[in-house]
């Protein structure tokens, strides 16, 4: 076995919106040679610097176990999932990947004693959580995706308490990033709008202009992830999912902010089914426990987030 203090990390679902960014941050922090990226898809991001990539379906527990053992993995960032909008289109697949996939990871974590990061979501909340969701607000989601996320949080608490697995999670708000397009969620409009604006195209936003949701720039989410995984376990009272303090803005407020940079940009608001999912979620999340237990603080506000997104996308296009 290698040095037990040296992190040997497997990232599942690594080609997604969060994975691409987390891979870069983990590689810089722990060394490119210690990060194994995996996803069900074949590797198609030539611009991403990855030393080892494995095509891996998290439902294939034998292959997952082989990858863990052969690479002496002692930490997994388990990002493979189906998000809210796609989950509602294919509930069985959403349940299988989000719940059974996590169960595979947890069973192997119990056996091989590696640490796990498993993201939760603001989708754990339903209409009864109120506009400002607290850590201990009720968890009665009305989307199947939300139900899988509550189940994942309960499984995390169970495997921690009963089997001593060191698993940690964050209830990410809608994440705004520019490197890859988001993967079929409800908050995707807050990313897609930037691509259209920078390309000088009109955008048909699929939620109405008053829709207000908890949001965050990706750098704040990646930093939260690394900070949580660095926190001493004895300081943590939660295994399933920490609320973070979030930004909170409407689709119209986002549009207005983008117009400060690109005044000719035009956005139409044409709600579809995803409006229902958005309406079932809170406007904002309160992050008391993440701040008190591991010192988390937000850095980006709406203005700095828009500036970063627009400058980054302008360089790319
Ligand atoms: P994404 O859809 O962009 O990426 C998920 C990745 O999982 C994809 O690359 C997909 O190919 C892969 N995948 C799907 N099925 C798989 C399987 N069977 N085996 C292996 N890989 C598989 O999602 P994301 O935005 O990167 O989200 C990652 C995690 O963060 C998810 O658990 C999601 O619920 C959570 N989350 C994301 C957000 C957000 O705004 N992006 C917000 C809250 C929570
Ligand atoms: C989605 O919209 O499904 C995700 C999430 C908030 O979990 N971005």
**pLDDT digit string, tens, across residues 111-131:** 999 999 999 999 999 999 999
Alpha carbon of 203 to ligand 2 centroid (Å):
20
Inter-CA distances, 164 with 24, 103, 233, 308, Å: 29, 15, 11, 41
Distance, in Å, from the CA atom of 261 to the CA atom of 315, rounded to the nearest integer, reads 15
pLDDT reported for residue 49 = 85
Report which bound ligand comes closest to the CA of 182: 1
Identify whether the C-beta of residue 89 lies closer than 8 Å to the C-beta of residue 49.
no
Region for residue 130 given its phi and psi (left: phi exceeds 0; alpha: psi -120 to 50; beta: otherwise): left
Over residues 156-177, mean pLDDT: 98
Distance CA 69, CA 219 (A): 31
pLDDT at 2: 57
The answer to whether 165 touches 116, Cβ cutoff 8 Å, is yes
Cα–ligand 2 centroid distance for 69 (angstroms) = 32
Cα gap 282→9, rounded to integer Å? 33
CATH classification number, 9-173+217-235, choose in 3.40.50.720, 3.30.110.60, 3.40.980.10, 3.40.50.11260: 3.40.50.720
Reported confidence tier of residue 273, pLDDT bands at 50, 70, 90: very high
Flag whether the pTM goes above 0.85.
yes
Residues 229 and 75: beta-carbon distance below 8 Å: yes
Q: Does 17 contact ligand 1 (Cβ within 6 A)? A: yes
| Residue 3 pLDDT exceeds 80 | no
Find out whether the beta carbon of 76 lies less than 6 Å from any atom of ligand 1: no
State the catalytic residue, choosing from 53, 77, 112, 145. Answer: 145
- d(C-alpha 195, C-alpha 267), whole Å: 12
Q: Please tell me if the CB atom of residue 309 comes closer than 6 angstroms to any atom of ligand 1.
A: no
From the CB of 58, is ligand 1 less than 6 Å away? Answer: yes
Nearest ligand 1 atom to alpha carbon 98: 32
**Is the C-beta atom of 146 inside 6 A of ligand 2?**
no
Q: Which residues contact 250 (CB under 8 A, 6 or more apart)?
A: 209, 210, 211, 212
Confirm whether 255 is a catalytic residue. Answer: no
Say which CATH architecture domain 178-215+247-283+300-316 belongs to. Alpha-Beta Complex (3.90)
14 alpha carbon to ligand 1 midpoint, in Å?
8
Instruction: Tell me the pLDDT of the chain averaged across its residues.
Output: 97
Closest-lying ligand to the alpha carbon of 16? Answer: 1
Ranking 45-59, 103-117, 178-192, 240-254 by mean pLDDT, the lowest is 45-59
Contacting residues for 28 by C-beta, under 8 A, at least 6 apart? none
pLDDT value, residue 1 = 52
CA nearest ligand 1 atom 13, residue: 80
Q: Residue with structure tokens 């939620």? A: 207
Give the confidence band of 44 by pLDDT, cuts at 50, 70, 90.
Answer: confident
| Residue 20, pLDDT above cutoff 80 | yes
Q: Is 16 in the pocket of ligand 1 (CB under 6 A)?
A: yes
Going from N- to C-terminal start, the domains of the chain cover 9-173+217-235, 178-215+247-283+300-316
Atom number in ligand 2 closest to CA 213: 6
Q: Which helix or strand (DSSP H or E) is residue 218 part of? A: helix 218-230
Whether 192 has a pLDDT exceeding 80, the answer reads yes
Q: Encoding tokens for residue 36? A: 């194994």
Residue 152 has phi, psi (to 5 degrees) of -60, -40
Residue-level pLDDT at 193: 98
Strands annotated E in 142-254? 167-168, 170-172, 174-176, 203-205, 212-217, 242-243, 247-250
The region of weakest confidence among 38-47, 149-158, 297-306 is 38-47
* pLDDT recorded at residue 227: 98
pLDDT digits (tens, 9 = 90+) for 149-158: 999 999 999 9
pLDDT at 4: 62
For residue 78, what pLDDT is reported?
99
- Percentage of the chain beyond pLDDT 90 is 95
Res 46: pLDDT: 65
Its sign, for the CA torsion 18, 181, 176, 151, is: negative
């Amino acid at each position: 076995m290698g040095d037990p203090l040296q992190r040997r990390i497997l990232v599942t679902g690594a080609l997604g919106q969060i994975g691409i960014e987390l891979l870069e941050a983990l590689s810089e922090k722990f060394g490119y040679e210690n990060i194994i990226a995996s996803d069900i898809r074949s590797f198609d991001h030539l611009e991403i610097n990855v030393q080892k990539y494995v095509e891996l379906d998290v439902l294939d527990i034998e292959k997952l176990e082989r990858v863990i053992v052969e690479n002496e993995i002692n930490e997994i960032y388990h990002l493979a999932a189906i998000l809210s909008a796609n989950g509602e289109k294919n509930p069985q697949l959403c349940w299988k990947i989000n719940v059974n996939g996590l169960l595979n990871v947890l069973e192997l974590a119990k056996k091989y004693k590696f640490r796990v990061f498993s993201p939760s979501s603001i989708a754990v909340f339903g209409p009864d959580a109120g506009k400002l969701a607290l850590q201990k607000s009720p968890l009665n989601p009305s989307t199947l995706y939300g139900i899988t996320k509550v189940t994942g949080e309960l499984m995390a608490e169970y495997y921690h308490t009963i089997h001593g697995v060191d698993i940690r999670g964050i209830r990410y708000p809608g994440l705004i990033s520019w490197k890859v397009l988001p993967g079929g969620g409800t908050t995707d409009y807050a990313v897609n709008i930037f691509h259209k604006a920078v390309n000088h195209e009109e955008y048909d936003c699929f939620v109405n202009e008053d829709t207000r949701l908890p949001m965050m720039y990706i750098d704040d989410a990646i930093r939260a992830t690394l900070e949580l995984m660095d926190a001493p376990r004895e300081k943590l009272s939660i295994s399933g999912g920490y609320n973070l303090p979030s930004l909170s803005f409407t689709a119209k407020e986002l549009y207005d902010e983008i117009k400060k940079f690109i005044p000719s940009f035009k956005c139409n608001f044409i709600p579809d089914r995803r409006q229902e999912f958005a309406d079932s979620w809170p406007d904002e999340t309160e992050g008391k426990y993440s701040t008190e237990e591991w010192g988390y603080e937000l850095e980006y506000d709406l203005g700095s987030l828009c500036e970063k997104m627009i400058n980054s996308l302008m360089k790319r296009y």
